[in-house]
Amino acid sequence: MDHVRLGIIVSEFNKEITFVMLDNAKKQAEKMEALISHICYVPGSFDMPLILKELLRKEDVDAVVTLGTVIKGETKHDEIVAENAARLIADLSVEHGKPVALGITGPGITFEQAMNRAEIVPVRAVVSAVEMTDRLRKMKENKSAGEQK
């Protein structure tokens, strides 16, 4: 099977966390022999859908991993940002028929909680993107998505 070609979108907001997430995503991609064809930086998680749409149009992108963290503040702004970003990300995945892994922590998360998840969340996101790409490829070959394991 061909290597999965990943695009990665990274939020620069809370970069103390998100850049650690990016390093861990790169390591996991290498372990899974996935190729990273694009890394795109955006100001914040809310800004991801526009860049995501462009990445999903590219022929050298099989799946995209989104990396960000939306930390709880004094208002419910974190909920608005995280929920809207997640909804648009899911919609774009379906619209373009390519997997998009949600590697965004929050809402309602503290800085410390986000830092504690900076290793596992991007690993899970890369695994999801690669596995979903493989399953979609198999389905297109007229095999059932459930026959993978």
Give this prediction's pTM: 0.92
Q: Please state the separation of Cα 93 from the chain's center in Å.
A: 11
Select the CATH number that applies to the domain covering 5-141 from these four: 3.50.50.60, 3.40.50.960, 1.10.3720.10, 3.40.50.720.
3.40.50.960
C-beta separation of 14 from 107 below 8 A: no
Instruction: Count how many Cα atoms sit within 13 Å of the Cα of residue 92 in the half-sphere of its side chain.
Output: 23
Give 102-139 pLDDT, tens digit per residue.
999 999 999 999 999 999 999 999 999 999 999 999 99
Nearest to 108 by CA among 117, 98, 99: 117
Annotation marks residue 77 as catalytic: yes
Which candidate in 3, 38, 77, 96 is catalytic? 77
Going by the DSSP 8-state scheme, the letter that residue 74 receives in this structure is S
Going by the DSSP 8-state scheme, the letter that residue 146 receives in this structure is G
C-beta separation of 7 from 48 below 8 A: no
- Per the structure block, which two tokens stand in for 68? 């960000």
Give 29-66 pLDDT, tens digit per residue.
999 999 999 999 999 999 999 999 999 999 999 999 99
Indicate if the alpha-carbon torsion angle 89, 85, 130, 33 is positive or negative: positive
